[in-house]
Amino acid sequence: MVLSLIKTCPAKINLFLEVKNKRKDGYHNIESLMTFCNYGDSLSVKKSKKFVFRVNGPFSKELFGKYNLIEEAKNKLEFLYKREFKVDVLLTKNLPIASGMAGGSSNATTFIRCIKEIFNLKDVSGFDNLLLSLGADVPFCYYGKTALVSGIGEKLKFVSIKEQFYFLLINPKIEISTQKIFTSLKESRKKKEKSNKLEELVSLKFFSKRKNHLEGYAICQSKKIEEILNFLNSLNGTLFSRMTGSGATCFALFDNLVDLELAETYAKKRFDNYWIKSSKLINSIKHI
């Protein structure tokens, strides 16, 4: 019997993110290639006599008084399974808050997987609806595999990127308003790509030419994002640079570890008060 678990909550990276149109319900249909890196928050969950939620780590102070997706996930799980889950939860917050890396979604889905394992829960009717009700990134984070994501985030086509890539991640420690971005969004007029071969859709040649449609709107909120992207593009070995999610984290993609290490050194000299992290692309959270 499993009584306690400690798991990594890996950061999500949007290799591209394109907004297609606004739906009648107010949400936006997107198309995105989403993957993970081998770094994130850490979550400890163990059986207890009552529910306890604690936070530590370098970004724990930023969470005080803020909305907590883990507790919402617990409440919705209890309603769905019609039982209580008394656990002691310790979240170590290593990722910046509101950083475009789905930190909250990854925390919530890691918590759900821990609860299911500790209490030996099976999937029941309504489980996928529960995931989507927690947020658009939650289904992707729960199933934990690189995917072509569409709809509002509920349509997942699992894929695998065969080449080994690395990320240099930079966050200026500012929060970008996702709500303001989506309020300002205009529909994409880009024609649909005519590629039916899955290996083409997940190739560097394909996704390096795509965009993050939210970038320009985020830059309107902070020019620091544009400065970071220009810096990343100037680095030796950068395959391309992009913002992930709605920001403010930006990344450069590398296929060479030596170039990555040098780039991280230069970045820390240039932006000494920013959050900077090098990491590896992983196709499945099982590889952490």
pLDDT, tens only, 131-142: 999 999 999 999
- Per the CB < 8 A criterion, the answer to whether 279 and 39 are in contact is yes
Q: Are residues 37 and 178 in the same domain?
A: no
- Per the CB < 8 A criterion, the answer to whether 139 and 128 are in contact is yes
Q: Are residues 110 and 217 in the same domain?
A: no
Domain stop point among 129, 157, 185:
157
Label residue 152 by pLDDT band (50, 70, 90). Answer: very high
pLDDT in tens, 96-106: 999 999 999 99
Which CATH number do you get for residue 47?
3.30.230.10
Q: What is the pLDDT of residue 183?
A: 87
- Per the CB < 8 A criterion, the answer to whether 156 and 169 are in contact is no
Taking the model in full, what pTM does it have? Answer: 0.94
Q: Report the share of the chain in percent with pLDDT over 90.
A: 86
Q: What is the pLDDT of residue 161?
A: 96
pLDDT in tens, 40-89: 999 999 999 999 999 999 999 988 877 789 999 999 999 999 999 999 99
Q: Are residues 213 and 277 in the same domain?
A: yes
Q: Are residues 122 and 208 in the same domain?
A: no
Q: Are residues 188 and 210 in the same domain?
A: yes
Q: What is the pLDDT of residue 266?
A: 98
pLDDT in tens, 255-268: 999 999 999 999 99
Alpha helices in 85-143 (DSSP H): 103-118, 127-134, 138-143
- Give just the sign of the alpha carbon dihedral 209, 32, 95, 222: positive
Domain stop point among 141, 157, 173:
157
Domain stop point among 122, 157, 192:
157
The number of angstroms, rounded, from the C-alpha of 156 to the middle of its chain's C-alpha atoms is 15
| Mean pLDDT rounded to a whole number for the chain | 94
Q: Are residues 117 and 242 in the same domain?
A: no
Q: Shortest CA distance to 235 belongs to which of 206, 276, 185?
A: 276
Q: Are residues 218 and 265 in the same domain?
A: yes
Q: Which two tokens mark 9? A: 């909550």
Q: What is the pLDDT of residue 192?
A: 55
Mean per-residue pLDDT, 185-204? 65
Q: Are residues 215 and 149 in the same domain?
A: no
**Which residue range(s) make up the domain with 80?**
4-157
Q: Are residues 274 and 206 in the same domain?
A: yes
Q: Shortest CA distance to 222 belongs to which of 175, 275, 277, 270?
A: 175
* 185 vs 204: which has the higher pLDDT: 204
Exactly one of 41, 74, 76, 137 is catalytic; name it. Answer: 137
Number of domains in the chain: 2
Q: Is 259 a catalytic residue?
A: no
Beta strands 87-92; 52-56: pairing state:
parallel
Q: Shortest CA distance to 40 belongs to which of 5, 12, 15, 4?
A: 12
Q: Are residues 129 and 184 in the same domain?
A: no
* 17 vs 202: which has the higher pLDDT: 17
Label residue 223 by pLDDT band (50, 70, 90). Answer: very high
Q: Report the share of the chain in percent with pLDDT over 70.
A: 95
Q: What is the pLDDT of residue 200?
A: 74
Q: Are residues 222 and 124 in the same domain?
A: no
Exactly one of 12, 93, 224, 277 is catalytic; name it. Answer: 12
Q: What is the pLDDT of residue 27?
A: 87
Q: What is the pLDDT of residue 195?
A: 52
Please state, in angstroms and as integers, the Cα–Cα distance from residue 182 to each residue in 28, 213, 214, following that order.
8, 10, 8
- Per the CB < 8 A criterion, the answer to whether 132 and 139 are in contact is yes
DSSP 190: P
Which CATH number do you get for residue 222?
3.30.70.890
Q: Are residues 113 and 150 in the same domain?
A: yes
Beta strands in 48-173 (DSSP E): 52-56, 87-92, 147-151, 155-158, 166-171
Q: Reply yes or no on whether the pLDDT at 196 is more than 70.
A: no
Q: Is 137 a catalytic residue?
A: yes
